[in-house]
């Protein structure tokens, strides 16, 4: 059953705590190639899993591994994603990066204090 296979893939990625290559993911889930491909296709279609090169990761993990404010590693699912977009139509791309919740609060407090001055 596909849903059981998808649960096995998600569980394996959560247990690993980092992206896994296809071979490692197959070994951890015990799925054959066809079942793994089907589970990954379903999870990618639902935007639960993202491919990064030859590895797969859960979408709720940050794209970057370190906080853009303090530089420390983000070690759990509790984080914010900072997204900066250009104000006008330019060739510049959107910039993103993860922040710890405490760093996001400090950044907002600093912004608010700047507005009060």
Domain residue limits, the chain: 2-58, 62-117
- What confidence score (pLDDT) does residue 47 get? 83
Tell me the two tokens of residue 53.
């090169």
Choose between 17 and 92: higher pLDDT: 17
Q: What is the average pLDDT score of the chain? A: 84
What is 2-58's CATH topology? Arc Repressor Mutant, subunit A (1.10.10)
For residue 1, pLDDT beyond 50: no
pTM of the model: 0.56
Cβ 25 vs Cβ 73: under 8 Å: no
| pLDDT tier for residue 63 given thresholds of 50, 70 and 90 | low
Among 42-46, 92-96, 98-102, the minimum mean pLDDT is found in 92-96
- What confidence score (pLDDT) does residue 84 get? 81
Radius of gyration of the chain (CA): 18
Cβ 74 vs Cβ 67: under 8 Å: yes
Cβ 47 vs Cβ 60: under 8 Å: no
């Amino acid at each position: 059953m596909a849903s059981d296979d998808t649960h096995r893939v998600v569980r394996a990625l959560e247990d690993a705590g980092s992206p896994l290559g296809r071979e490692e993911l197959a070994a951890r889930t015990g799925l054959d190639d066809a079942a793994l491909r089907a589970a990954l296709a379903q999870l990618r279609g639902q935007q639960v899993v993202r491919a990064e090169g030859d590895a797969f990761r859960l979408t709720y993990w940050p794209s970057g591994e370190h906080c853009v404010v303090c530089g420390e590693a983000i070690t759990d699912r509790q984080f914010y994603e900072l997204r900066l977009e250009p104000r006008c139509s330019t060739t510049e791309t959107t910039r993103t990066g993860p922040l710890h919740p405490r760093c996001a609060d400090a950044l907002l407090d600093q912004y608010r204090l700047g507005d009060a001055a």
